[in-house]
Amino acid sequence: MSPRRTDTGGRIDRLKTIRFSFDGVAYTGHAGDTLASALLAKGVTLFGRSFKYHRPRGLLTAGVEEPNALVTVLKGEVREPNIPATMVEIHDGLVAISQNRFPSLAWDIHAVNQLGGKILSAGFYYKTFMGPVIGPLKGTRFWMFCEHFIRRAAGLGSAGSAKDPAHYERMNAFCDVLVVGSGPAGLMAAKAAADQGARVMLADLEPRFGGSTNWSNETIDGAPAADWARRTVTQLEGRDNVRLLPRTTVWGYYDNNTLAALERVSDHKEQPAKGEPRHRYWAIRARSVVLATGAFERPLVFPGNDRPGVMLAHAAERYANEFGVLPGERIALFTNNDSAYRAAIALKKAGAAIVAIADVRSELSPEMRKLATEAEAEIFAGHAVVATEGGKALSGVKVQRFDMVTGALTGDERSIHADCLLMSGGWSPTIHLASQAGAKAEWNAARQAFLPPKPAQQWIGAGAFTGSFSTAEAIAEGRAAGLAAAGGTSTPAALPTVEAVHGDPDPAPVFEIRAKGKSFVDFQHDVTAEDVRLAHREGFVSVEHLKRYTTLGMATDQGKSSNVPGLAIMAEALGKPIPEVGTTRFRPPFAPVSIGSLAAERFGDLKPERLTPMHDWHVANGATMYSAGLWYRPMIYGLSGETIEQAYVREAKATRESAGIVDVSTLGKIAVQGPDAAAFLDRVYTNMFSTLAVGKARYGLMLREDGFAFDDGTTWRLGEQDFLMTTTTANAGKVMQHLEYFLDVIWPDLKVHVTSVTDEWAGAAIGGPKARQILAACVTGTAVDNATLPFMGIVHGQIAGVPVMICRLSFSGEMAFEVYSGAGHGIHVWEALIEAGKPFGLVAYGLEALGTMRIEKGHVTGAEIDGRTTARDLHLDWMLSKKKPFIGSAMMDREGLIASDRLELVGLIALDNRPLNGGAHIVEALDETNPHGSIGHITACCYSPALGKHIALALVQAGKARHGTRAHVSDPLRNRFGPVEIVSNHFYDPEGTRMHG
């Protein structure tokens, strides 16, 4: 390793030293370095091991398309694998390690895989381990055995299991013009659109805006191009109508011009600022988009093209000019186009020796010959590189005469001593977003590249993205695109003048040099040219199949550098032109996206949750809370040392003996208002509501349109045209949607408004023999005696000075009242009730006791109204009005819904005095070794303090006819078997004498 930092140049801050580590070795770099440039500056050439063969790999690129130099970044216990070193900005304390190697990067025992090269060809794992179909291992789980080792040997970095403490955010943004890419085209587009007054967003995945101006040696308006870019960015920064997003990868282009982007907000910092997220996911709705995403340079496919030290030409130019780092001291180039000559000049100027330029073209333009001479390079026109030499670093290359028409190699090989080989196989416009936006890319024979399709959405392309590779073209197209995107008209204007090396943008149509040795097409997945031809020989003709069989173009780089060479080789094998072979459609994301940014902030402490007005009281008074949908409700108010069963038994018993109070604020509450409200409810419910008197409530049942039971609850008539409907907690949203659907779509003529008022009211249900006395002790402004407040009656009064509405109804089976107050007064009323109840032994009870009492009463909930039961199944057929039609009435009498063998609601009593389990099957004859013959299942169960038995509700075939008979529970999963008696679901006070008083 020898230091390769140039004495001057680059856009790094040489005064600022950054300390970091790679594979446990301490290094220094400068502010503005990437991990790749900083390590390269220190002479590191070996960055990783390849996917399958564990070949040593160095840097191929300098940007997001890097396939080789993937590292794992460690932050405390958290590890993030597969990050291109080219995209990691160094900061003090950065810890990165290489991956896919053991025990070390330099000495990796899996490199032995290289010896099995021919065996490990495309489809190796499928062919080898999907069987074996013959031999002694046939029919064994040999594949499972091998899988463990294969997974260890092949692959990328491993993900960590530590919880990621980082903070991720989602942002929504709207703009007139989103410009993607901040090279000369993007900057001009942003400026032109901003000048029109448009709201502009400019996003670039790099930390520095300017794109190629950061590394080209060109001048714009007489100054270095980077200075022009800085000036333009400064102008944009000063404008209110422009938002600049550096380090932001626009990774998805969706319908209606919605784009997804990932901003790496604080990855480049040792510590994020307070409250600062790590990543931001931007959902951008843009009226118009300018795609100025540039182009990716392509590698050439030739033996040994993956050896560390072999790099793309523009990447080397970038390392030299942007980071002040030379990738080698003696550099050779291999190209099929003119752009590599510019790199040669840049590296020469930066201090490297350019030892040779091999160009597949035999005829070179005078301008290129002049550049080669300027670089003092020996020219090998009509030659190709046929081999590279060295181990973990390049020591030399071999060139041979090459006929680019026939592909034939002739003459003697010639060795050239070089520690770096730069290659350029032409350029592929970065059309990913345009492809995602919905159209097919078009092959351009001159550029030997897929160019962007005709826009299927509102976007305009500019610069290298369109195949216009010169800066002058980029500037002109960028301005025109920006104007058009902002709705302006293009007027003649003096554009910035560019001084640049001019070259022919069209490469020679050469993708591969066929010579002896492994020639890599997809560096990241170790796919060779021979693998592509093997796939062809094995019958894979579709490009989609080729991709899947060889894995070409998969993994984290998604074939940014390999797709076109792979297609070209496939096309040659098929004997078809490239456009006929076609290309795969690019899918989001353009580059890897953190899962955290997609999940953003709806988990943990920031998970949305619903709390009743009395929530804090419950917690302060020892309630164990559990979630019911998004709501939190008390399960029990356990005393010290109590089990859950002991607590709910105590609470239920106390309620039946004296009084209990439960928070019912979570019940769905819907205001149904308007002149047609009563008529609407007659249609919605199975029973009649238009006959309900003002000041009274009625229990109602709803069916779905298909005739099955949907929801139940009481509805209170507060005025002639004013009803308060209550629903089950779980179904509140569904019922609201159901009502809105019928009002909006089916019966728009009905004058009815429905409004969720669940949160308007706090509800406390107080029940038990002493409930009325407790109310009498604290309610003013109304009597609560039987005459004033009969069953299902409603009164208005006050408790502790605040208005309340009291309805006498019961879920527990006791004399009970629901006390509603404004939610803001909920805790005030609740505490007043608790205080008033103290002399009467009032207890607060939770959902377990509530459930116990409802099971004892045989009331149904969502466990029984499960979407498969009918009103008849639940013995609610008395609620099916024959005087009127209602939702579901037309379908509820279908043959299958009235069959005699349907599951019907029953009660069960455990005859072995042991607890029953929800979900357990009911069978007529017990067979523990071969459980079968289910006649139903348990829906809810408890220990009944009122009966002193373990009881359950169940749905059992022809259940009502089985009352008084015996059956068995069969619950093999929980190993619970035993006899039960089938009884009526009304276990407790079936006449309702306690409730009616």
Partner 1 sequence: MAERQSPLEPEFHVGSHGNFEHGVEILLTETRPGSIVQLAAWPGEEKKLIAAIRTVTGLALPDGAGGGSSDGVKSVFGFAPGKFTVADEAEGLAAAFAKAVTPAIGTVTDLSHGRTAIRIAGPKAEWVLAKFFAIDFALPAFPVGAGRSTAHHDVFAQIQRTGADQFDIYVFRSFARSFWKALCHASEEVGYEVQ
Nearer of residues 600 and 958 to partner 1, judged by Cβ: 600
User: Using the rule CB under 8 A, which residue among 555, 823, 938, 952 binds partner 1?
Assistant: 823
Nearer of residues 263 and 506 to partner 1, judged by Cβ: 263
Cα 865-871-875 angle, rounded to 5 deg: 100
Least distance from partner 1 to the Cβ atom of residue 600, Å: 8
Q: Are 860 and 970 in contact (CB under 8 A)?
A: no
Window 917 to 936, contacts with partner 1 (CB under 8 A): none
Cα 547-551-556 angle, rounded to 5 deg: 110
Tell me how far apart the alpha carbons of residues 213 and 226 are, in angstroms, rounded to a whole number. Answer: 5
Residue 746 binding partner 1, by CB under 8 A: no
Least distance from partner 1 to the Cβ atom of residue 760, Å: 3
User: Using the rule CB under 8 A, which residue among 65, 80, 169, 506 binds partner 1?
Assistant: 169
Three-state secondary-structure class, residue 471: helix
Rg of the Cα trace of the chain? 38
User: Using the rule CB under 8 A, which residue among 294, 478, 674, 700 binds partner 1?
Assistant: 674
Binding mask 46-65 for partner 1 (x = CB under 8 A): --------------------
Window 536 to 565, contacts with partner 1 (CB under 8 A): none
Residue 459 binding partner 1, by CB under 8 A: no
Least distance from partner 1 to the Cβ atom of residue 745, Å: 15
Region from 212-220, 245-253, 427-435, 753-761 binding partner 1, contact rule CB under 8 A: 753-761
Nearer of residues 116 and 165 to partner 1, judged by Cβ: 165
Q: Are 309 and 420 in contact (CB under 8 A)?
A: yes
Window 573 to 602, contacts with partner 1 (CB under 8 A): 601-602
Q: Which residues, other chains included, contact 592 with Cβ-Cβ below 8 Å and sequence gap of 6+? A: 82, 556
Cα 106-52-89 angle, rounded to 5 deg: 60
Least distance from partner 1 to the Cβ atom of residue 819, Å: 15
Region from 491-499, 566-574, 759-767, 837-845 binding partner 1, contact rule CB under 8 A: 759-767
Nearer of residues 2 and 172 to partner 1, judged by Cβ: 172
Residue 884 binding partner 1, by CB under 8 A: no
Region from 4-12, 97-105, 116-124, 274-282 binding partner 1, contact rule CB under 8 A: 274-282
Nearer of residues 210 and 596 to partner 1, judged by Cβ: 596
Whether omega before 839 lies within 30 degrees of 0, making that bond cis, reads no
Binding-residue total with partner 1 (CB under 8 A): 54
Q: Which helix (H) or strand (E) holds 228?
A: helix 225-237
Residue 275 binding partner 1, by CB under 8 A: yes
Tell me how far apart the alpha carbons of residues 745 and 323 are, in angstroms, rounded to a whole number. Answer: 64
Nearer of residues 456 and 757 to partner 1, judged by Cβ: 757
Window 183 to 222, contacts with partner 1 (CB under 8 A): 199
Query: DSSP code of 299?
Result: P
Sheet containing 219-220, strands listed edge to edge, beginning at the edge strand earlier in sequence: 223-224, 219-220, 498-499
User: Using the rule CB under 8 A, which residue among 759, 893, 927, 928 binds partner 1?
Assistant: 759
Binding mask 604-633 for partner 1 (x = CB under 8 A): -xxxxxxxxx--x-------------xx--
Binding mask 682-721 for partner 1 (x = CB under 8 A): ---------------------------------------x
Window 956 to 985, contacts with partner 1 (CB under 8 A): none
Instruction: Read off the tokens for 45.
Output: 């050439």
Tell me how far apart the alpha carbons of residues 592 and 53 are, in angstroms, rounded to a whole number. Answer: 24
Region from 69-77, 333-341, 496-504, 820-828 binding partner 1, contact rule CB under 8 A: 820-828
Tell me how far apart the alpha carbons of residues 847 and 669 are, in angstroms, rounded to a whole number. Answer: 19
Nearer of residues 285 and 884 to partner 1, judged by Cβ: 285
User: Using the rule CB under 8 A, which residue among 753, 838, 868, 996 binds partner 1?
Assistant: 753
Residue 104 binding partner 1, by CB under 8 A: no
User: Using the rule CB under 8 A, which residue among 342, 717, 825, 872 binds partner 1?
Assistant: 825
Tell me how far apart the alpha carbons of residues 685 and 886 are, in angstroms, rounded to a whole number. Answer: 6
Which residue, among 356, 413, 359, 416, has the nearest Cα to 382 in the 3D structure?
Answer: 359
Q: Are 299 and 35 in contact (CB under 8 A)?
A: no
Residue 734 binding partner 1, by CB under 8 A: no
Nearer of residues 820 and 977 to partner 1, judged by Cβ: 820
Nearer of residues 370 and 607 to partner 1, judged by Cβ: 607
Q: Which residues, other chains included, contact 656 with Cβ-Cβ below 8 Å and sequence gap of 6+? A: 768, 769, 812, 814, 853, 945, 946
Nearer of residues 418 and 833 to partner 1, judged by Cβ: 833
Nearer of residues 490 and 755 to partner 1, judged by Cβ: 755
User: Using the rule CB under 8 A, which residue among 239, 269, 285, 548 binds partner 1?
Assistant: 285
Nearer of residues 391 and 824 to partner 1, judged by Cβ: 824
Tell me how far apart the alpha carbons of residues 679 and 670 are, in angstroms, rounded to a whole number. Answer: 16
Nearer of residues 606 and 776 to partner 1, judged by Cβ: 606
Tell me how far apart the alpha carbons of residues 724 and 739 are, in angstroms, rounded to a whole number. Answer: 13
Window 791 to 810, contacts with partner 1 (CB under 8 A): 800-802
Least distance from partner 1 to the Cβ atom of residue 403, Å: 59
Least distance from partner 1 to the Cβ atom of residue 750, Å: 10
Q: Which residue has the tokens 């900061």?
A: 91
SS3 of 728-795: CCCCHHHHHHHHHHHHHHHCCCCCCEEEECCCCEEEEEEECCCHHHHHHHHEECCCCCCCCCCCCEEE
Number of H helices, E strands in the chain: 23, 51
Which residue, among 854, 877, 629, has the nearest Cα to 731 in the 3D structure?
Answer: 629
User: Using the rule CB under 8 A, which residue among 31, 166, 171, 495 binds partner 1?
Assistant: 171
As to burial, measured by CB atoms within 10 angstroms (0-12 exposed, 13-18 middle, 19+ buried), residue 877 is: middle
Residue 828 binding partner 1, by CB under 8 A: yes
Region from 343-351, 380-388, 582-590, 819-827 binding partner 1, contact rule CB under 8 A: 819-827
Least distance from partner 1 to the Cβ atom of residue 994, Å: 32
Residue 252 binding partner 1, by CB under 8 A: no
Nearer of residues 294 and 674 to partner 1, judged by Cβ: 674
User: Using the rule CB under 8 A, which residue among 145, 174, 741, 878 binds partner 1?
Assistant: 174
Nearer of residues 598 and 757 to partner 1, judged by Cβ: 757
Q: How far from 356 is each of 373, 408, 415, 673, CA to CA, in Å?
A: 10, 21, 11, 87
Q: How far from 435 is each of 255, 260, 368, CA to CA, in Å?
A: 12, 15, 34
SS3 of 62-80: CCCCCCCCEEEEEECCEEE
Tell me how far apart the alpha carbons of residues 257 and 252 are, in angstroms, rounded to a whole number. Answer: 10
Q: What is the largest CA-CA distance in the chain?
A: 116
Q: Are 447 and 339 in contact (CB under 8 A)?
A: no
Nearer of residues 368 and 736 to partner 1, judged by Cβ: 736
User: Using the rule CB under 8 A, which residue among 141, 148, 163, 274 binds partner 1?
Assistant: 274
Interacting residue ranges for partner 1, rule: CB under 8 A? 169-174, 199, 273-277, 283, 285, 601-602, 605-613, 616, 630-631, 665, 671, 673-675, 721, 751, 753, 755-762, 800-802, 822-828
